[in-house]
Amino acid sequence: MSRVCIVRQFYYPEDPRVRKEAEALASAGHEVDVICLRRVTEAAQEVVNGVSIHRLPLTHQRGSVRQYLAEYLTFFMMAFFQLTMRFVRRRYDIVQINTMPDFLVFVAVICKLFGARITLDMHECVPELYQTKFGLGPHHPAIKLLGWIEQWSMAFADQVTTCTDQQKAVFVKRGTSPDKIAVVLNSADTSIFKAPADGPRLWEPGEELVLVSHGLIVERYGLDTIVRAVGLLKPEIPRIRLRVLGEGEYLPDLRALVRELGLSNEVWLAGFLPRAEMLEAIHTAHLGVVAVKRDAFRDLTHTNKMYECVAMLKPVVISETTAVRAYFDEASFAFFQSDDPVDLARVIRELYHQPERAWAMIEHASKESQQYAWGIQKHVYLNAVLGEAATAPVEAQPVGAS
Residues 6/34, Cβ–Cβ less than 8 Å: yes
Q: Report the distance separating Cα 380 and Cα 389, nearest Å.
A: 10
Residue 198 within any structural domain of the chain: no
- Please report the pLDDT score of residue 389 as a whole number: 45
* 345 in the same domain as 242: yes
Helix H segments across 195-321? 223-233, 251-260, 275-283, 304-311
- Please report the pLDDT score of residue 63 as a whole number: 64
Write out pLDDT tens, residues 343-397. Answer: 999 999 999 999 999 999 999 999 988 888 898 899 999 999 998 643 434 444 4
- Please report the pLDDT score of residue 238 as a whole number: 86
Residue 348 within any structural domain of the chain: yes
Q: Report the distance separating Cα 299 and Cα 296, nearest Å.
A: 6
Residues 6+ away with beta carbon under 8 Å from 156: 105, 106, 112, 118, 120
For 359-397, b/e burial (b = at least 16 CB within 10 A) is eebbebbeebbebbbbebbbbbbbbbbbeeeeeeeebbe
For 265-290, b/e burial (b = at least 16 CB within 10 A) is ebbbbeeebeeeebbebbbebbbbbb
* 218 in the same domain as 183: no
* 260 in the same domain as 301: yes
Q: How many helices (H) and strands (E) does the chain have?
A: 14, 14
* 133 in the same domain as 21: yes
* 74 in the same domain as 32: yes
Residues 120/142, Cβ–Cβ less than 8 Å: no
Residue 195 within any structural domain of the chain: no
- Please report the pLDDT score of residue 396 as a whole number: 47
Residue 109 within any structural domain of the chain: yes
What mean pLDDT value characterizes the chain?
Answer: 90
Residues 142/193, Cβ–Cβ less than 8 Å: no
Residues 321/298, Cβ–Cβ less than 8 Å: yes
Q: Domain count of the chain?
A: 2
* 378 in the same domain as 321: no
Q: Report the distance separating Cα 310 and Cα 306, nearest Å.
A: 7
Domain that holds residue 347: 209-371
Residues 395/378, Cβ–Cβ less than 8 Å: no
What Cα–Cα distance (Å) separates residue 307 from each residue in 81, 284, 312, 366? 37, 17, 9, 10
Residue 79 within any structural domain of the chain: yes
User: In the beta sheet, which residues pair with residue 212?
Assistant: 243, 288
Give percent helix, percent strand, percent coil of the chain, each to the nearest 5.
Answer: 45, 15, 40
Residue 395 within any structural domain of the chain: no
* 366 in the same domain as 346: yes
Residue 289 within any structural domain of the chain: yes
Residues 310/274, Cβ–Cβ less than 8 Å: no
Residue 194 within any structural domain of the chain: no
* 367 in the same domain as 254: yes
Residues 6+ away with beta carbon under 8 Å from 19: 12, 13, 51, 189
* 60 in the same domain as 44: yes
- Provide the percentage of residues in the chain whose pLDDT is more than 70: 96
Write out pLDDT tens, residues 273-310. Answer: 888 999 999 999 999 999 998 877 778 888 888 999 99
* 377 in the same domain as 364: no
Residues 129/104, Cβ–Cβ less than 8 Å: no
Low-confidence ranges of the chain (pLDDT < 70): 62-64, 388-402
User: In the beta sheet, which residues pair with residue 55?
Assistant: 36
* 318 in the same domain as 292: yes
What CATH number is associated with residue 67? 3.40.50.2000
Q: Report the distance separating Cα 285 and Cα 263, nearest Å.
A: 18
* 71 in the same domain as 9: yes
- Please report the pLDDT score of residue 132 as a whole number: 83
What is the residue type of 258? V
Q: In this structure, what DSSP letter does residue 370 have?
A: G
Residue 160's CB is within 10 A of a number of other CB atoms, namely: 22
